[in-house]
Structure 1
């Protein structure tokens, strides 16, 4: 079985939003297995905190596969099984026909110079490379759908009353369609996985400044310091990885 020759440097942190009764975010920081993830329990739905913890614990329990392609396949299979289990976790009934137990997920796999980002929902993966910030994931939200299909600007789409509604998530009572992006890493790359509570509180310039220098723990602390200067109403989670 192959081992990671040089485990990546990484750090993660999560905090409850100031208006939330409980933190529905969860994260995985597992450099020894080259796997990181952020899950955001679907706000307003039942047991969102349980759903996100379920996602993270299931990914953490995956056995180490012999090569990168098998690892990616195992993560995708795990998330599809979770989607089915979450979809059955709350029985349908007449008083709450739309009750669901669900979560977003964004995961990052690294090995050698190979990387893969896997996601469903609006938790994001960013890449800081060559003094530029790239958003690797693409939100599965009504806002993004309106921008794609109706050519609306971001500001126009944000004005829709249901703009933040998710179009994909684990446990959403629809067949899960995961999105996967594979790429090769370069020296100096920095990855950021985060929930919407973090990136909505920061502009792209602030994200880039935070990722541009320092060890992962310092970067995470800098991100949280910036976000907590504002309302920070939603739960916020960040995982920073330096290959």
Structure 2
């Protein structure tokens, strides 16, 4: 990969939380390669941890070329993992094996361009000029109800399966990934996180943390906030600043 003219800074952390026995999340933080990711595994302790680890390991493998070429390669790798989780691993353990899957949200950057790729309900936020933007849209039943049935968030949340995922790596034979490309600006700060983080904080909490002087300070403040509460799920986050 050609040397970037822009130096990106980042910090990452993952924690089991206060309730779960094992951490099924995985994070990727590589400012040098300009790729970052959070994967939130599902399917039981061993299966979820395996799925999230496979995703970040594949995304961490070196790739060179233009941003567009790197994005195509990353998408191919996610499709490969989806096929592996949905067919190879499941077949090895028999048809009664529980689902092995994971959400993913990844950010790939190159100078003043960045691309976010995701499947599931792990999120990417952008803090720009003192405003917080949620760049990703959750792939879950609640979101579908809001769009297709024109329900409010409060109405959709009352559905008993509101948080059920509609997309994830390993969840179906055909993987659908969403992609968002944007021009970056100096000072832009991105947050990639699992639902174990954003469900336990407010947007004001996110804004205050992302306005800190460094990604490391932002991560510290976010985890201090979550771990001071119930922290019922695994908690993972990557903060990236241009």
Question: Which bin holds the TM-score, normalised by the shorter protein?
Answer: over 0.9
User: Residues 185, 205 of structure 1: CA spacing in aligned structure 2 closer, same or farther, 3 A cutoff?
Assistant: same
Counterpart Cα distance in 2 of 1:46 and 1:187:
41
After TM superposition, the structure 1 stretch with the greater mean CA deviation from structure 2, 179-188 or 85-94, is: 85-94
Instruction: Note if 1:226 corresponds to 2:225.
Output: yes
Deviation at 1:43, TM superposition (A): 5.3
User: Residues 79, 198 of structure 1: CA spacing in aligned structure 2 closer, same or farther, 3 A cutoff?
Assistant: same
Q: Is the 8 A contact 2:24 2:45 kept in 1?
A: no
Structure 2 counterparts to residues 79-158 of structure 1, below 5 A: 79-88=78-87, 89-91=89-91, 93=94, 96=96, 99-158=98-157
Counterpart Cα distance in 2 of 1:70 and 1:176:
19
Structure 2 counterparts to residues 206-225 of structure 1, below 5 A: 206-225=205-224
Q: What TM-score, normalized by structure 2, do the two folds share?
A: 0.95
For 2:160, the equivalent position in structure 1 comes to 161
Structure 2 counterparts to residues 177-216 of structure 1, below 5 A: 177-216=176-215
Deviation at 1:44, TM superposition (A): 4.3
Counterpart Cα distance in 2 of 1:237 and 1:134:
19
Counterpart Cα distance in 2 of 1:216 and 1:73:
28
Q: What TM-score, normalized by structure 1, do the two folds share?
A: 0.95
Query: Runs in 1 of length 4+ with deviation above 4 angstroms?
Result: 43-46
Deviation at 1:179, TM superposition (A): 0.2
For 2:241, the equivalent position in structure 1 comes to 242
Number of aligned pairs? Answer: 240
Deviation at 1:130, TM superposition (A): 1.2
Counterpart Cα distance in 1 of 2:6 and 2:223:
28
Counterpart Cα distance in 1 of 2:225 and 2:212:
15
CA-atom RMSD, angstroms?
1.4
Q: Is the 8 A contact 1:25 1:49 kept in 2?
A: yes
Structure 2: state its 5+ residue gaps.
none
